[in-house]
Amino acid sequence: MKKRLFTGLQPSGDLHIGNYYGALKPFVDMYEAYNSFLMIADYHALTSLRDSEALHQNTINIVKDYLAVGVDPEKVVIFRQSDNPDHTELGWILNCMVTVPFLMQGHAYKDKVAKGIEPNAGLFTYPMLMAADILLYDTDVVPVGEDQRQHLEYTREAVGKFNRAYGDVLKEPETVILDGVGVVPGTDGQKMSKSYKNTIPLFGTTEEVEKSVMHIVTDSNGERPENVYAIHRLLKSAEELDPIYETYKGKYGDLKKMLAADLETMIAPMRERRNAITDEQVRAVLANGVIKAREVSGSVLEQVRTAIGIAL
Tell me the domains of the chain and their CATH numbers: 4-183+279-308 (3.40.50.620), 204-274 (no CATH)
Q: Long-range contacts made by residues 249-252, C-beta under 8 angstroms, separation at least 24?
A: 249/222, 249/223, 249/224, 250/222, 250/223, 252/218, 252/225, 252/228
Backbone angles phi, psi at 118, to 5 degrees: -55, 130
CA distance 235 to 233: 5
The residues annotated as belonging to the active site are: 112, 191, 194
CA distance 44 to 112: 14
Single-letter amino acid code for the residue at 12? S
- Residues (pLDDT < 70) of the chain are 145, 147, 178-182, 220
Contact predicate 256/228, CB 8 Å: yes
